[in-house]
Structure 1
Amino acid sequence: MNLLVLNLLLALAWMGFNADFSLGGFTAGFVLGHGVLWLGRPLYPTQRYFRVFWGSLGYFLWLLKEIVTSSLKVAASVLGFGEKVQPAVIAIPLDARTDLEITLLACSITLTPGTLTLDVAPDRKHLYVHAMFGGDAAALCAETKDSMERRILEVLR
């Protein structure tokens, strides 16, 4: 059985035993169930649940930080005291191969203010991105690959 489903069932059982059908009751049950499953992880040596769960949480928090910092950068530029706008369309070579990896990367880029994913090359080896601050295309490409794409691939592979 998938450990995520088992964790959700443990959370529901906790809610039932405590007759607390609230978000707090679910959260407490999920955290306790996660702890129980973590203690029993030697029983599931092939499961990637914990690595994917914590990696996804880490990626979400990192992406949230990137969204906030990019928003501040764009706002400063719009108000006239930030970096000068230098729009550019950049082809970023992809290490991501599956539809999920490419889609998650494209959506993450689009969510970050100042960047917009335009298209994926037909051979799926490049992602075309419009950047508001694209003065140094090589640096932007390297930064995207080293931070965003690397983090996505670490979680999904």
Structure 2
Amino acid sequence: MNLLLSGIWVALTGSLFYTNFLFGFMLGFFVLWIMNRNETDQRYFYRVPKVISFIFYFLYQLIKSNIQVAFDVITPRYFFTPGIVKYPMNARTDFEINLLTTMISLTPGTLIIDISEDKKTIYIHVMYLTTPEAFVRETKTGLERRLLEILR
């Protein structure tokens, strides 16, 4: 409904720019929130800000790791310290596991090697590994927590 309202806004204003679409999306979000304030199901109004926050967080991680890999490629000295990490997941369903492993693999410098038979751990090759515990902690509190907040 929110996308429909933002599309209507773009059609009414006659200006097909992404900023106008984003403004229409925010305006539609506000209109839907006003209309559904007394409803019991408010999940949409909590998920949209979390999705936007996740997108910005993932883009930040993506840019940061791209800069790190690019710097390592253009300098004569190699700074990478590769390693394989056994990562215990909180994701349980196949969809959650698939989305988590895809997001981890999209980040430069990481690659999913295998998923255990019981679907509780994944094995990740990390190009810049300081300590396995730090990588697990950072991924659990960052990427996985934010992703599961959106999906559950």
TM value normalised by structure 1:
0.82
Query: What displacement does 1:13 show?
Result: 3.6
**Structure-2 residue corresponding to 1:47:** 42
Task: Output one character per residue of 1:34-64: Cα deviation in whole Å (capped at 9) or x when no partner.
Answer: 1101222323321311211110110010110
Matched, 1:36 2:31: yes
Mapped to 2, the partners of 1:88 and 1:38 lie a distance apart of 47
Matched, 1:105 2:121: no
Query: What displacement does 1:83 show?
Result: 6.9
| Paired residues, number | 151
Deviates more, 1:95-104 or 1:81-90: 81-90
Task: State the SS of the aligned residue for 1:105.
Answer: helix
Mapped to 1, the partners of 2:90 and 2:67 lie a distance apart of 29
Matched, 1:22 2:16: yes
1:79 to 67, 74, 83: 74
Mapped to 1, the partners of 2:116 and 2:26 lie a distance apart of 42
Task: Output one character per residue of 1:124-145: Cα deviation in whole Å (capped at 9) or x when no partner.
Answer: 1001111001241121112111
Percent identity reads: 37
> Relative to 1, partners in 2 of residues 1:150 and 1:27: Cα closer, same or farther, differing over 3 Å?
closer
> Relative to 1, partners in 2 of residues 1:128 and 1:39: Cα closer, same or farther, differing over 3 Å?
same
Mapped to 1, the partners of 2:130 and 2:49 lie a distance apart of 35
CA contact (8 A) 1:90 1:131 kept: yes
Query: What displacement does 1:95 show?
Result: 0.6
Mapped to 2, the partners of 1:13 and 1:44 lie a distance apart of 24
Segments of structure 2 that go 5 or more residues without pairing to the other structure are: none
Mapped to 1, the partners of 2:95 and 2:118 lie a distance apart of 16
Segments of structure 1 that go 5 or more residues without pairing to the other structure are: 1-5
One-letter amino acid of the counterpart of residue 14, structure 1: W
Matched, 1:92 2:92: no
